[in-house]
Amino acid sequence: MRFHGLDLNLLVVLDALVVEQHVTRAATRLHLTQSAVSAALGRLREHFADPLFVLVGGRMLPTALMQRLHPRIQGVLDGARGIAFANAGFEPRETRRRFRIMASDYVIAVLMPRFRRRLADLAPQVDLQLLTLLPHRGAEPGSLVDEALEHRHCDLVILPHVHRSTRHPEQAVFEDGFSVIACRENPDVVRGLSLERYLGSPHVVRETGASALGSMEAEFLASQGLERRVAVAVEQFGLVPEFVVGGPCLATLHSRLATLYASRFPLRLLEPPLVFPPTAQVMQWHAYQDGDPALAWLRQVLLEAAA
């Protein structure tokens, strides 16, 4: 459809290019060929008399004009999506759709396999794309959710309540406490853990880089002025039990994750020697998708899996 000489279908191409910063990735997102996206960009450059993107270090970065245009383009596309979902029907078994969900690797591990199995029974043609959530130090409250929903086009974001955005709807998913895992053969923890033994033991922790927030139990210990010996730091929760089994190391994990690992590895579950504050996980979605019956159904199935 043309409006004052502009093909409005090309706005979707501009949005994808801003998000992906690469012609090939934008083409994959849009299910188009690379040449089709390149041709669309050529027509857009001619219409706006501006390059719109410049290549910097292998990435296509928006020009000043494109930076001004993008929020307005998003507004047009959000309105169009809202119209598209109006009075939409939904039949789970007949729907072919891929949902894009962002969550921490902890939530993905303890919730998503069960959720996927339920989907396979109820909506066998529905697929998932799971992205890993990494909160960063110094980020504005809610900015991670806003980025995921407004720029990365996620359908759902699941994250700790403290990092939620006030700009989008939310719903509680589950609460979780903390447990300590130790090797089942570790003789030092047979009678439980004192605070002195806990702090004096070597620990395995998850760390994802200097710019990322530390794990929740690490942040709490630091707030209490307590220090433990970190013997091993890994970037993925899934590697933690590998360094606990067969050795003296301890690890403090969300209880759901600790229980999952204890069912798969020769581990002992222990009560922490101090009370860690529980964490509440919430899910958020873009307000324009409130009227999407498929996403409303998906959220309900996810809540049932979490319960």
| pLDDT less than 50: residues of the chain | 1-2, 4
Region label for 218, one of left (φ > 0), alpha (ψ between -120 and 50) or beta (otherwise): alpha
pLDDT value at residue 79: 65
Same domain for 289 and 270: no
CATH number at 48 reads: 1.10.10.10
Domain residues for the domain of 152 are 92-175+280-306
Among 285, 277, 236, 231, residue whose Cα is nearest residue 255: 277
Last residue of a domain, one of 85, 107, 137: 85
> What is the per-residue pLDDT for 56?
87
Q: Are 156 and 99 a contacting pair, CB within 8 Å?
A: yes
| Per-residue pLDDT tens digits for 125-172 | 999 999 988 766 666 767 888 888 877 788 999 998 888 888 888 999
Strands 97-103, 59-62: pairing is unpaired
- Write the pLDDT tens digit of every residue in 12-49: 888 888 878 888 888 887 777 888 888 888 888 888 89
Residue with tokens 């929020």: 71
Do 111 and 44 share a structural domain?
no
| Residue 67 confidence (pLDDT) | 87
The last residue of one of the domains, among 37, 64, 85, is 85
Do 222 and 150 sit in the same domain of this protein? Answer: no
Please enumerate, as own/partner, the contacts of 35-42 that have beta carbons within 8 Å and a separation of 24 or more.
Answer: 37/13, 40/10, 40/13, 41/13, 41/17
> Are the beta carbons of 282 and 164 closer than 8 angstroms?
yes
pTM over 0.85: no
> In this structure, are 248 and 287 located in the same domain?
no
- Are residue 130 and residue 47 in the same domain, yes or no? no
Q: How far apart are CA 307 and CA 301, in angstroms?
A: 10
Same domain, 191 and 267: yes
